């Protein structure tokens, strides 16, 4: 800067900031060598706060209004008194303007899905996003903790850090809430309010306020949403047989309305009709296959019997073995048998317990 520009700067004694951007949180008023004239006019507009910093230390905070900087407790001297120092005043000062309006429509969202255990679907992955609003609440704290010596600090410089903070707390809250995935849409407001209350102290620790936080959407992965859509479609269709009949009738009507090019619609109708008939066939209960009449099983608890085979005593045989012998012809109605409790040997055909063994056999020929 030349000598003439330097001299012109001595007559500029109005300190103010009009913000032409939409995202500037903090602006440092630029003066040559950070020299502030004695008696300069400081204008702080509504929605602003000015912080006076002298030689690296915070000296005072100014709320909206107009101030004349010539109080003795502020290190302000006219640079005209410093000409003997080569236009360099030994007293340096800086003024930072803070925008205290609300910065709205700031976005947050999960970069990676949140793993949860759902009571209906089991382990699932959820994504969520929403918006939030911030405002500078404590300018000196925000200057010390975040801004530092940045001459122009924008909202973009801090939104990534705030977004990560919100997502981390949201994942923790969502996991502890144990709300079924299908019921989350009815709890967006409660989740947003709870998250706002949970995270507000962390914002205040750096001088910011969180007036509002919204949960706009919580979604399932695309493949899970597709499966859920198919499940919902089946519920809307309802009776599948009636729906198939309706589709077939619609295809036949289209074919009748378009004789020249209705072959495709006719084929579709015939195909749906065949599908309906196949569905009816599959739905009809299967008819039992007739089975040959079988002899009744032997009476339970019947004791074993001795059998006279070829003039020799054999056995004793259980009922299942006697049944096999009867089927093989070794045991006939005339074969003598004996079991515990009988006084003598009796033909098998005269024993009531063994009568069922010969039910499938023809009776003996007369006179045999």
- pLDDT tens digits for 300-325? 445 687 877 777 777 777 877 877 87
129/95 same-domain check: no
Please report, rounded to a whole number, the percentage of residues in the chain having pLDDT higher than 70. Answer: 67
Q: Is residue 94 a contact partner of residue 28, using CB atoms and an 8 Å limit? A: yes
**CA-CA distance, 15 to 80, in Å (whole number)?**
18
How does DSSP assign 76-89, residue by residue? ---GGGGGGGTS--
Asked if the structure places residue 12 within a domain, the reply is yes
Q: Which of 76, 195, 73, 202 is nearest to 141 (CA)?
A: 202
Mean pLDDT of 82-110: 73
Verify that 214 and 119 share a domain, yes or no: yes
Average pLDDT over residues 182-193: 88
Please indicate, yes or no, if residue 128 is contained in any of the structural domains: yes
Q: How many domains does the chain have?
A: 3
Domain residue limits at 52: 3-99
Q: Which of 103, 101, 98 is nearest to 162 (CA)?
A: 103
> CA-to-CA distance for 191 and 193, rounded, in angstroms?
6
**Is residue 82 scored above 60 in pLDDT?**
no
- Please classify residue 312 by burial: count the beta carbons closer than 10 Å to its beta carbon, then call 0-12 exposed, 13-18 middle and 19+ buried: exposed
Are 82 and 151 members of one domain? Answer: no
C-alpha dihedral sign at 136, 139, 141, 146: positive
Highest mean pLDDT among 33-47, 58-72, 205-219, 340-354: 205-219
- Angle (CA) 107-115-120 rounded to 5° is 115
Same domain, 85 and 142: no
Angle, vertex CA 268, rays to CA 263 and CA 273, nearest 5: 125
Is residue 116 located within the same domain as residue 94? no
Residue 255 domain-assigned (yes or no) = no
pLDDT, mean over the chain: 76
Pick from 99, 125, 144: which residue ends a domain?
Answer: 99
Q: What's the mean pLDDT in 170-197?
A: 88
Residue 258's alpha-carbon distances to 21, 213, 247, 261, 263, in angstroms, are 64, 58, 17, 6, 9
Residues 213-258 pLDDT 10s: 999 998 887 877 777 777 766 666 656 666 666 667 677 677 667 7
User: How far is the C-alpha of 334 from the C-alpha of 322, rounded, in Å?
Assistant: 14
- If you count DSSP H runs as helices and E runs as strands, how many of each does the chain have, helices first? 8, 16
Beta bridge partners of 207: none
> ω before 316 within 30° of 0 (cis)?
yes
Q: At what angle do helices 156-177 and 188-204 cross, to 10 degrees?
A: 130
Give the pLDDT of residue 281. 55
Residue 89: CA count within 13 A, CB half-sphere: 22
94 in any annotated domain: yes
Whether 128 and 157 map to the same domain: the answer is yes
**148 and 85 share a domain?**
no
- Residue 176 in any domain: the answer is yes
Is 300 among the domain residues?
Answer: no
Residue 155, C-beta contacts closer than 8 angstroms, at least 6 positions apart: 23, 24, 25, 103, 106, 134
Cα-based distances in Å from 34 to 28, 89, 94, 348: 10, 9, 6, 130
CATH of residue 109's domain is: 3.30.479.30
Whether 118 and 214 map to the same domain: the answer is yes
Q: Considering the entire predicted model, what is its pTM?
A: 0.56
Residue 82 and residue 23 share a domain: yes
pLDDT of residue 271: 60
Residue 199 lies in a domain: yes
Compute the C-alpha angle 241/242/244, nearest 5°: 65
Residue 209 belongs to some domain of the structure: yes
């Amino acid at each position: 800067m030349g000598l003439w520009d330097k001299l012109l700067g001595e007559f500029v004694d109005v300190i103010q900031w009009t913000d032409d951007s939409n995202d500037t949180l903090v602006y440092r008023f630029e003066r040559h060598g950070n020299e502030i004239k004695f008696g300069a006019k400081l204008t702080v507009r509504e929605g602003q706060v000015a912080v006076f910093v002298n030689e690296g230390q915070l000296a005072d905070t100014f709320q909206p209004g107009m101030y004349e900087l010539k109080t003795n407790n502020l290190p302000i001297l006219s640079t005209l008194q410093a000409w003997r120092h080569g236009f360099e005043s030994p007293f340096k000062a800086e003024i930072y303007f803070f925008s205290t309006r609300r910065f709205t429509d700031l976005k947050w969202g999960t970069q990676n899905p949140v793993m949860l255990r759902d009571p209906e679907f089991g382990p699932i992955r959820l994504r969520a996003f929403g918006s939030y609003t911030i405002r500078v609440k404590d300018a000196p704290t925000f200057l010390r903790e975040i801004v530092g010596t940045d001459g122009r600090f924008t909202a973009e410089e801090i939104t990534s850090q705030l977004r990560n903070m919100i997502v981390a707390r949201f994942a923790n809250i969502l996991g502890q809430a144990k709300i079924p995935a299908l019921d989350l849409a009815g709890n967006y407001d409660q989740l947003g309010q709870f998250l706002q209350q949970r995270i507000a102290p962390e914002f205040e620790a750096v001088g910011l306020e969180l007036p509002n936080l919204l949960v706009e959407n919580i979604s399932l992965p695309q493949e899970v949403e597709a499966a859920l859509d198919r499940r919902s479609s089946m519920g809307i269709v309802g009776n599948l047989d009636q729906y198939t009949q309706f589709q077939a009738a619609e295809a036949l009507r289209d074919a009748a309305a378009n004789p020249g090019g209705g072959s495709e619609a006719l084929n579709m109708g015939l195909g749906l009709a065949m599908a309906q008939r196949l569905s009816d066939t599959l739905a009809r209960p299967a008819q039992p296959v007739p089975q040959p009449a079988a002899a009744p099983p032997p009476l339970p608890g019947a004791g074993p019997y001795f059998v006279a085979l070829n003039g020799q005593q054999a056995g004793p045989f259980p009922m299942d073995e006697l049944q096999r012998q009867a089927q093989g012809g070794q045991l006939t109605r005339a074969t003598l048998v004996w079991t515990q409790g009988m006084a003598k040997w009796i033909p098998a055909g005269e024993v009531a317990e063994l009568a069922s063994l010969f039910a499938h056999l023809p009776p003996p020929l007369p006179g045999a």
